[in-house]
C-alpha cells in the first residue's frame, strides 16, 4: 500500500522500534514538532492499514508504566523494511 507523504513521514518514526514498541501522541508531538490534531488522524490511518496497533498499559525501557501507545505490528515492520510504504 502506497502511503501519502504525510503518512510515510510519520510512519518512519517507528523505524527504530521493535515489534510491540511505539509512541503515545505526546511523544510523537515532541519528536515531530507537530500538534496532536495533525498527528492523530495520520496515526489512526496507519493503524487502519494494520501497520500500528493501539495498546493500553505500555511500559518504558526502564520498567515504568506510561499509559497507551500505538505500537508497531509485524505488518508494520515488514512495510518499513520494504521502504516504509513509499
The domains of the chain, with CATH numbers, are 5-81 (1.10.10.10)
Quote the pTM value: 0.83
> pLDDT band at residue 1, thresholds of 50, 70 and 90?
low
If you average pLDDT over residues 21-38, what whole number do you get? 91
Contact between 18 and 69 (Cβ < 8 Å): no
The alpha carbon of 86 is separated from its chain's Cα centroid by a whole number of angstroms, namely 16
Q: Which of these, 47, 52, 54, 45, lies nearest to 74 by C-alpha position? A: 52
How far is Cα 52 from Cα 54, in angstroms, rounded to an integer? 7
Percent of residues, the chain, with pLDDT higher than 70: 86
Q: What is the pLDDT of residues 40-66, one digit of tens each?
A: 999 999 999 999 999 876 656 677 666
Amino acid at each position: 500500500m502506497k502511503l501519502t507523504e504525510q503518512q510515510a513521514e510519520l510512519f518512519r518514526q517507528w523505524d527504530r522500534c521493535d515489534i510491540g514498541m511505539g509512541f503515545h501522541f505526546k511523544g510523537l508531538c515532541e519528536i515531530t514538532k507537530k500538534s496532536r490534531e495533525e498527528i492523530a488522524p495520520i496515526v489512526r490511518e496507519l493503524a487502519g492499514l494494520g501497520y500500528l496497533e493501539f495498546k493500553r498499559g505500555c511500559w518504558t525501557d526502564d520498567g515504568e508504566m506510561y499509559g497507551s501507545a500505538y505500537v508497531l505490528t509485524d505488518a508494520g515492520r515488514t512495510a518499513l523494511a520494504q521502504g516504509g510504504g513509499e
